[in-house]
């Protein structure tokens, strides 16, 4: 860590002293038990963070509700100006923050920087959006009436994010919610508590400099029970949650029980279809990055490759060869492609997936395994693996959050590949590799991919922030980030105004007194 400048990064982020109690973070509430954050990179303790008690939570929500009452009345371009300044700080801290993401979470430094870039991009987007929170105007059916709709700030938004994108997902939600006039309470992953504190500190500083009321950005820390403080709380009208399908079902039910809104971003089982007309070189780059990037821990990671029998052997050989070039090791070292998994539980899941695929009749093409020896002391480094399998296998139907890629064969028409691609419960991301216009358009048509994201000639991961991000079926149906995803953070109101001296009723109803 020293060699790669991690201590300096912690200093730059203002969290170097987090262990001896001199830095508790700003607007960061915690009097509960401590949780320790160990780096999957080298197994070293990075810092300890106090969790949020019920009492702490009550203070957070009280501040958020109070702050919201003031913040909602700020003109949204002024809220946008605060987000612009927050973004300025992010630009300046991109390197240390990217480094901390890499060190605490384990993704490559390049991908850590990429994640901070997503934060920067969504903030730019949000600043522009702050002048474009448009509603529509309609023509009334009654004379002398005007009808329009407007979007008002919603209230307190609860954001629950996962370890794999410990900073970007927070900002996709908060940058939009802030310009929309909401107060945000964030429960980051307990596996990456320090990146959460670092982000919260940046926001808190900018907010203070601008006289933003307290409580517009708060951080709470802990396990699912801390999350439940929010999901069951009717003072939180919207919960945006990213995580497993299992977690999403629990959150959705808790929020629905009080008729709150939820925005769910859950698991994927993403596939790339490779047709006889595919460019093989690009297919290999897209598939390998998709499968091993972030060590297979993106919700958009490529899990299945559905290859036409005509090109199957060629694609198989090319991918197996490419896997030989992959360098696994310290993710801060830019020579390496793949870092560690997040922890030893994730390693166990990875191992049992590989055992299971063999048990179910799959055929291992690229051997997996846990790496040992110098540089691998944390026990979290694994070899990306490939297995030939069939879509029906139980293990192929599941999302294993690790670098395990399943190679599936199809024959005949594209329709067969699409049936395989859609033949899972998840519906996040999908892609087709083809230079055939007819195939590409069919894949995007109503009879094509059933996913929230469908790409042509690029892989399944690495979505840009400008589009709405999310998926169908068990992925949860939520949309975050670009396009009109902002609407979920606001409440919509339809207004009809009568500027005549009469009171005509709609639908032509006569009602004379």
Can you give the binding site for ligand UN1, defined by CB under 6 A? Answer: 118, 164-165, 169, 242, 298-300, 461-463
* Nearest-angstrom CA–CA distance, 239 and 260: 8
CA 27 to chain centre: 24
In 10 A of CB 492, how many CB atoms? 11
Q: How far is the CB of 172 from ligand UN1 (least distance, A)?
A: 9
| Cβ–Cβ < 8 Å for 319, 287 | yes
User: DSSP label at 142?
Assistant: S
CB closer to ligand UN1, 242 vs 421: 242
CB closer to ligand UN1, 87 vs 171: 171
| Cβ–Cβ < 8 Å for 294, 336 | no
DSSP labels, 64-129:
HHHHHHHHTTS-HHHHHHHHHHHHHHHHHTHHHHHHHHHHHH---HHHHHHHHHHHHHHHHHHHHH
List Cβ<8 Å contacts ≥24 apart for 6-10: 6/99, 6/100, 6/103, 6/332, 8/96, 9/95, 9/96, 9/97, 9/99, 9/100, 9/103, 10/46, 10/47, 10/96, 10/100, 10/194
CB closer to ligand UN1, 32 vs 296: 296
* Nearest-angstrom CA–CA distance, 301 and 136: 37
Q: How far is the CB of 506 from ligand UN1 (least distance, A)?
A: 45
* Nearest-angstrom CA–CA distance, 11 and 16: 5
Spatial CA neighbour of 414 closest among 382, 449, 380? 449
Torsion, CA 496, CA 501, CA 506, CA 508, rounded to 10: -160
CB closer to ligand UN1, 85 vs 117: 117
Q: How far is the CB of 486 from ligand UN1 (least distance, A)?
A: 18
Looking at beta carbons, which residue is closest to ligand UN1? Answer: 463
**Catalytic annotation, pick one of 190, 265, 439, 474:** 265
CB closer to ligand UN1, 343 vs 462: 462
Q: How far is the CB of 485 from ligand UN1 (least distance, A)?
A: 13
Q: How far is the CB of 35 from ligand UN1 (least distance, A)?
A: 22
Q: Has 399 been annotated as catalytic?
A: no
Instruction: Give the CA count within 13 Å in the CB-facing half-sphere of 183.
Output: 28
CB closer to ligand UN1, 80 vs 268: 268
Q: How far is the CB of 94 from ligand UN1 (least distance, A)?
A: 16
Active site residues: 265
């Amino acid at each position: 860590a020293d060699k790669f400048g991690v201590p300096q990064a912690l200093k730059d982020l203002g969290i170097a002293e987090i262990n001896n109690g001199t830095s508790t973070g700003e607007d960061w509430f915690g009097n509960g038990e401590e949780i320790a954050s160990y780096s999957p990179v080298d197994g070293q303790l990075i810092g300890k963070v106090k969790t949020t008690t019920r009492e702490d939570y009550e203070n957070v929500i009280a501040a958020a509700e109070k702050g919201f009452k003031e913040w909602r009345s700020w003109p949204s371009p002024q809220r946008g100006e605060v987000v612009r300044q927050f973004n300025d700080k992010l630009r300046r801290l991109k390197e240390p923050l990217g480094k901390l993401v890499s060190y605490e979470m384990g993704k490559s430094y390049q991908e850590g920087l990429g994640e901070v870039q997503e934060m920067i991009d969504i903030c730019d987007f949000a600043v522009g959006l702050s002048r474009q929170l448009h509603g529509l105007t309609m023509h009334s059916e009654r004379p002398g009436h005007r009808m329009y709709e407007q979007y008002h700030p919603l209230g307190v938004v609860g954001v629950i994010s996962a370890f794999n994108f410990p900073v970007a997902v927070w900002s996709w939600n908060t940058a939009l919610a802030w310009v929309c006039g909401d107060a945000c309470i964030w429960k980051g992953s307990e596996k990456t508590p320090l990146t959460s504190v670092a982000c919260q500190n940046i926001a808190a500083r900018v907010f203070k400099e601008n006289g933003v009321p307290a409580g517009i950005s708060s951080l709470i820390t802990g396990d699912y029970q801390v999350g439940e403080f929010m999901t069951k709380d009717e003072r939180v009208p919207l919960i945006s949650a990213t995580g497993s399908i299992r977690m999403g079902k629990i959150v959705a039910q808790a929020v629905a029980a009080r008729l709150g809104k939820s925005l769910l971003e859950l698991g994927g089982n993403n596939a790339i279809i490779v047709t006889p007309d595919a460019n093989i070189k690009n297919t290999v780059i897209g598939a390998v990055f998709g499968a091993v990037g972030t060590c297979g821990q993106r919700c958009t990671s490529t899990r299945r490759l559905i290859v036409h029998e005509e090109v199957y052997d060629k694609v198989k050989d090319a991918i197996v060869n490419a896997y030989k070039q992959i360098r696994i090791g310290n993710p801060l070292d830019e020579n390496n492609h793949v870092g560690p998994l997040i922890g030893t539980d994730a390693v166990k899941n990875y191992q049992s997936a590989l055992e299971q695929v063999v048990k179910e009749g799959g055929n291992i093409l690229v051997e997996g395994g846990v790496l040992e020896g110098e540089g691998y002391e944390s026990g979290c480094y694994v070899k990306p693996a490939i297995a030939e399998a069939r879509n029906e296998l139980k293990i192929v139907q599941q999302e294993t959050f690790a670098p395990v890629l399943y190679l599936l064969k199809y024959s005949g028409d594209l329709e067969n590949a699409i049936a395989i691609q859609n033949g899972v419960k998840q519906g996040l991301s999908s892609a087709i590799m083809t230079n055939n216009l007819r195939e590409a358009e069919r894949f995007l048509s109503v009879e094509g991919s059933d996913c929230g994201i469908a790409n042509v000639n690029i892989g399944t991961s690495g979505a840009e922030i400008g589009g709405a991000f999310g998926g169908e079926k068990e992925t949860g149906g939520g949309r975050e980030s670009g396009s009109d995803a902002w609407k979920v953070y606001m409440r919509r109101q339809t207004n009809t105004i009568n500027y005549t001296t009469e009171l005509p009723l709609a639908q032509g109803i006569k009602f004379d007194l």
